[in-house]
Structure 1
Amino acid sequence: MDKKIKVLIVDDSAVIRQLLSMLLSEDPEIEVVGTAGDPLIARDRIKALNPDVVTLDVEMPNMDGVTFLRKIMTLRPMPVVMVSTLTQAGAETTLEALEIGAVDFIAKPVHDAAQGLSEIAGELRSKVKQAARARVGRGAAAPRKTNRIYSAGKEKLVAIGASTGGVEALKTVLMDLPAECPPIVVTQHMPPRFTAAFAERLNRECPMKVSEAKHNDPIEPGHVYIAPGSHHLEVVRVSNQYRCTLSESAPVSGHRPSVDVLFRSVADTVGRGAVGAILTGMGKDGAEGLLAMRKAGAYTLGQDESSALIYGMPRVAFERGAVMKQVSLSHMADAIMEACESSARAAVRA
Structure 2
Amino acid sequence: MRRVCLPACTRLAAAFMCIAVTSLSNAPAAAEPVPVIFDTDMANDCDDAGALAVLNALADNGEANILAVVTNRKCPSGVSGAACDAINTYYGRGDIPIGTDKDGAKVPWKSPSSYTPTLSTDFPHDSDEDASLPDALTVYRKTLAAAADNSVVICSVGALSNLEDLLNSPADELSPLTGKELVTRKVQRTVIMGAAFPRSARPETNIRLDPPAAVAVVCEWPGEIIWQGYEVGAALHCGQSLLQVPEDNPVRRAFELRPFLGKRSIDRGKPAHDQAAVLLAVRGIDEKYWRQSPFGRVVIDSDSHSEWKPEANGRHCYVTIAGHPAALTTLIDELMAQPPRSRTKGND
Higher helix fraction: Structure 1 or Structure 2? 1
Which protein shows a greater Rg? 1
Q: Which has the higher contact order (CA 8 A, sep 6+)?
A: 2
TM-score > 0.5 by shorter chain:
no
- Give the TM-score taking structure 2 as reference length: 0.36
TM-score of the two chains, using structure 1 as the length reference: 0.36
